[in-house]
Amino acid sequence: MVSATSATAAADEAMPHAGRMGLFPVDPACTFCGIVSGRVRASRVYEDVQVLSFMDIHPAAPGDLLVIPKAHAAALEDIDQTLTAHLFQVVHLLVRGLRRSGLPCEGVNLFLADGEAADQTVLHLHVHVFPRTTDDRFRLQVRWLERSRADLDDDAAHIRAGLARSGHRPRSP
């Protein structure tokens, strides 16, 4: 197992706050919390004070990883920016390790499903790290939309308003 680096040691000390759905040390009904506690077996790849990575039990390809916060959080909004940054620093580290592992990996897809409508099946925040090859059978089926500039500008205005309602104040360029 890889241990935490000094670059991420400060992030390990940060305490995440309760978000929209709440952050809890563990949820006894959650499979991923069971993995964190050791109650459920997993093939662990990386672990530090705040984050755990393990092999997906139903992989899309050999090397398919999951990266989770150790504390139970259902959605990305449930963790603070410090833990979010640390989670993605670990994702970055694992992508580098995966590319150098000798497993088939010509590219990588990251996937985070946030909420049941986004097909999140385990309601514990997790990032999928999918190794890709040019001949794999991995496909995303999406019906891409075409939107007018006016519609895109209107969507952007709605999102800026949502940011303002969440307390975000834009910085001057």
Instruction: Show the tokens assigned to 136.
Output: 């794999």
Q: What is the dihedral of CA 109, 114, 119, 124, to 10 degrees?
A: 100
Catalytic-residue membership of 72: no
Q: Would you list the DSSP string of 47-103?
A: E-SSEEEEE-SS-SSTT-EEEEESSEESSGGGS-HHHHHHHHHHHHHHHHHHHTSSS
Q: Choose, from 72, 86, 126, 168, the residue flagged as catalytic.
A: 126
Q: CB of 118 within 8 A of CB of 126? A: no
Cβ neighbours of residue 126 under 8 Å, at least 6 residues apart?
32, 66, 67, 68, 112
Contacts for 140 with CB less than 8 Å, ≥ 6 apart: none
Which residues are marked as active site? 126
